[in-house]
Structure 1
Amino acid sequence: MNWLALRMLTGDKSKYLSLILSITFATLLMSQQVSIFMGVVERSASQIIDVRDADLWVMDSKVRYIDEAPFLPNNDLQRVRGVPGVEWAVRFHKSSATARLPDGNFRNVMLLGVDDATMVGSPRRMVLGELSDLNRANAVFIDKAGYEYMWPGEPFQLGREFHINDRRVVLMGICKASPPFTTLPILYSRFTEVERFFPTNRNLMNYVLAKAMPGQDPHQVCQAIEQQCGLMALTQDGFFW
């Protein structure tokens, strides 16, 4: 029977080859779609991946994904710091803004505000400049792809000036960052600079970045934060997925 089945399968060479090619092409398409899906997932969570310092993300209990997070009251930061098992916690800002270039053109950008004292959430792979340069007045960093988008065809140059919400900023560093889901330049700034960009906003903290104490289970610390503060707390892997 096996011999007869094999003869029936290969008896017509053209149909046999068409069948093999069809199966091969279908397999290729399925593998490609999985790769595309994983690429979209990684891009949508690129800012989560780039934060290497913290292992806990704390946010409003109704947040569905990283780009849709309401601002938290400033006292939530102190409440998270008071939860047993939390070693430290800092504030983190993420929003979109409009950058006005000296020639009058403008670009929408993704703005990330990191803690002034600890620099948790700041880029670690610098192309030009030093991390300490972010401490300078009006300083911002931009990702490499964002620089090429804002100043296409021009060599890397620090000291460029432009405006965000009519506030002067100075480009003090170019870094590498994971590509985001949208093709927006990524700007890094200190949290106090973000407060200067949006002076009328009372609350500018979307997230609290925290770290569990050594020996503590991060998942148990997340549960303690949720019970004590009424906020959503996730590990980095949990927030990614």
Structure 2
Amino acid sequence: MYLVALKMLFGDQSKYMMLVSGMAFATLLMAQQSALFCGLMSWTYSPLVNISASIWVADSKVEQVNENKPMRDTDADRIRSVDGVAWAAPLYQGIVVARDPTNSNFKFITLVGLDATTLAGAPGRIVQGTLDDLRRPGTAIIDEFAVERFSEGRDQPIGVGDLLEINDNQVEVVGICDVQRPFIGGPFVYTTYDRAVSTYAYKSRKMLTFVLAEPAAGLSPTDVARRIEAGTGLKAFTREEFRWSTIRWFFRNTGIPMVMGITVFIGLVVGMAISAQTFYSFVLENTRFLGALKAMGTPTPVLCKMLLFQSVAVGLIGYGIGIGITVAFGRMALSTRQIPYAMPWQVPAIVLGIVLLISSVAALGGILRIARLEPAIVFRA
């Protein structure tokens, strides 16, 4: 019977193509917009990806990683004194303006100051130069986004050995790193903490942005974070806690989730409407054949299973086409590095569940009609 159902489905090429196109378009809308949303959200917490630490300690009012509410320099020593903290290092993070002295090309950058002794929080992948050169006076490591931005108007791309100007101070580029782009601010430029707060950053009474910490052996980051909060009155996040806190902040304070959600909902409505109408029309045109099967003794539940099988088959084929187009778009987006794109496994899994739901709803109208179908219809003129 299932083979007969497939022959009926593929026999009507126009209806089959409309059904598959509707499901593919719905899948494309839902999967692509969900992947763009996940990519955009990953940009919002890019410092957590680019600066490695198990525990981030911030001012008690901080809610997301892009906030800059400075603390006192002595807070780093207070955190080190908490039982269970293996080490703690100061971190400066702020948005400043840098200039290419060869062509006065001004760009906003995210300046990151690392502890000179440990270089805790340094980028994990250095594509040119070496991390140790960062300890030399007047040096910085820039990311590939900075190379792209500061190479505008130059005969040759900016690279190791070239100069930038930050806050009227010349900085030698000693390395290029590969890190994730930020949602707020500009390219990441790494230097040492003392150099950042004393020379490159704009002065304020307090300059310490975060303190990075690691738990002692045998202790979990969550337990040590709670100890830091209890002992200092500051806010301590594990990396995962800070990531979700940042995402929740953007949900509450921006319209990004609503815009993306509307697009995903449109994909759901379009897919359901097109599929349901087209599939019901398909059932109407095949009523006589279904009636003939019923007249030959095929039970109604079997006919209903045939319709459901046809609908699910269309859904899976359309899903495969839609996901394939989404993956192709994702490869293009990642190669340009201009478009936020990320597809965790939950996205295709959830979209598959929705597609199967649409397929079941689309089959429901046909099933109701088949349940009321009289076998005698096959003998009517």
TM-score (norm 2): 0.58
Q: Which has the larger radius of gyration?
A: 2
Question: Unaligned regions of 5+ residues in structure 2, if any?
Answer: 245-381
Counterpart-to-counterpart distance in 1, 2:128 and 2:22:
50
Counterpart-to-counterpart distance in 2, 1:7 and 1:170:
70
Within the candidate set 223, 229, 234, 2:232 is matched to: 229
Q: Describe the superposition over 1:25-64 as per-residue Cα deviations: whole angstroms up to 9, x where unpaired.
A: 1122111122111111211112211223x21011112212
Residue of structure 2 equivalent to 1:111: 111
Counterpart-to-counterpart distance in 1, 2:131 and 2:43:
24
More strand by share: 1
Q: Pick which of 174-183 and 9-18 moved more.
A: 9-18
Matches within 5 A, 1:80-119: 80-102=79-101, 103-119=103-119
| Closer/same/farther in 2, CA of residues 7 and 141 from structure 1, 3 Å limit | closer
Report the CA distance between 1:16 and its aligned residue: 5.0
Residue of structure 2 equivalent to 1:51: 51
Report the CA distance between 1:199 and its aligned residue: 6.8
Counterpart-to-counterpart distance in 2, 1:15 and 1:139:
65
Counterpart-to-counterpart distance in 2, 1:148 and 1:199:
25
Q: Pick which of 109-118 and 140-149 moved more.
A: 140-149
Asked if structure 2 preserves the Cα contact closer than 8 Å seen for 1:140 and 1:188, the reply is yes
Counterpart-to-counterpart distance in 2, 1:10 and 1:156:
58
Seq. identity, %: 36
Residue of structure 1 equivalent to 2:36: 36
Asked if structure 2 preserves the Cα contact closer than 8 Å seen for 1:83 and 1:224, the reply is yes
Asked if structure 2 preserves the Cα contact closer than 8 Å seen for 1:148 and 1:154, the reply is no
Counterpart-to-counterpart distance in 1, 2:150 and 2:132:
24
AA of the residue aligned to 2:179: A
Counterpart-to-counterpart distance in 1, 2:159 and 2:75:
39
Counterpart-to-counterpart distance in 1, 2:213 and 2:191:
19
| Closer/same/farther in 2, CA of residues 151 and 9 from structure 1, 3 Å limit | closer
AA of the residue aligned to 1:230: G
Q: Describe the superposition over 1:67-91 as per-residue Cα deviations: whole angstroms up to 9, x where unpaired.
A: 1131111121111111111111011
Residue of structure 2 equivalent to 1:191: 193
Q: Describe the superposition over 1:79-117 as per-residue Cα deviations: whole angstroms up to 9, x where unpaired.
A: 111111111101111111111221223111110110011
Counterpart-to-counterpart distance in 2, 1:183 and 1:88:
29
Residue of structure 1 equivalent to 2:60: 61
AA of the residue aligned to 2:94: S
Report the CA distance between 1:20 and its aligned residue: 3.2
AA of the residue aligned to 1:81: R
Q: Describe the superposition over 1:166-213 as per-residue Cα deviations: whole angstroms up to 9, x where unpaired.
A: 122111111111122257221101011112124742321111100000
Report the CA distance between 1:238 and its aligned residue: 1.6
Matches within 5 A, 1:1-241: 14-52=14-52, 54-102=53-101, 103-152=103-152, 154-182=156-184, 184-195=186-197, 196-198=199-201, 200-241=203-244
AA of the residue aligned to 2:221: P
| Closer/same/farther in 2, CA of residues 105 and 28 from structure 1, 3 Å limit | closer
Question: Unaligned regions of 5+ residues in structure 1, if any?
Answer: none
| Closer/same/farther in 2, CA of residues 58 and 16 from structure 1, 3 Å limit | same
TM-score (norm 1): 0.89
More helix by share: 2
Counterpart-to-counterpart distance in 2, 1:164 and 1:234:
31
Counterpart-to-counterpart distance in 1, 2:184 and 2:234:
27
Aligned length: 240
| Closer/same/farther in 2, CA of residues 125 and 7 from structure 1, 3 Å limit | closer
| Closer/same/farther in 2, CA of residues 13 and 85 from structure 1, 3 Å limit | same
Asked if structure 2 preserves the Cα contact closer than 8 Å seen for 1:56 and 1:222, the reply is yes
Secondary structure of the 1:77 match is helix
| Closer/same/farther in 2, CA of residues 23 and 206 from structure 1, 3 Å limit | same
Secondary structure of the 2:207 match is coil
Counterpart-to-counterpart distance in 2, 1:35 and 1:204:
36
Counterpart-to-counterpart distance in 2, 1:7 and 1:161:
69
Secondary structure of the 2:31 match is helix
Counterpart-to-counterpart distance in 1, 2:123 and 2:19:
51
Secondary structure of the 1:193 match is helix
Secondary structure of the 1:34 match is helix
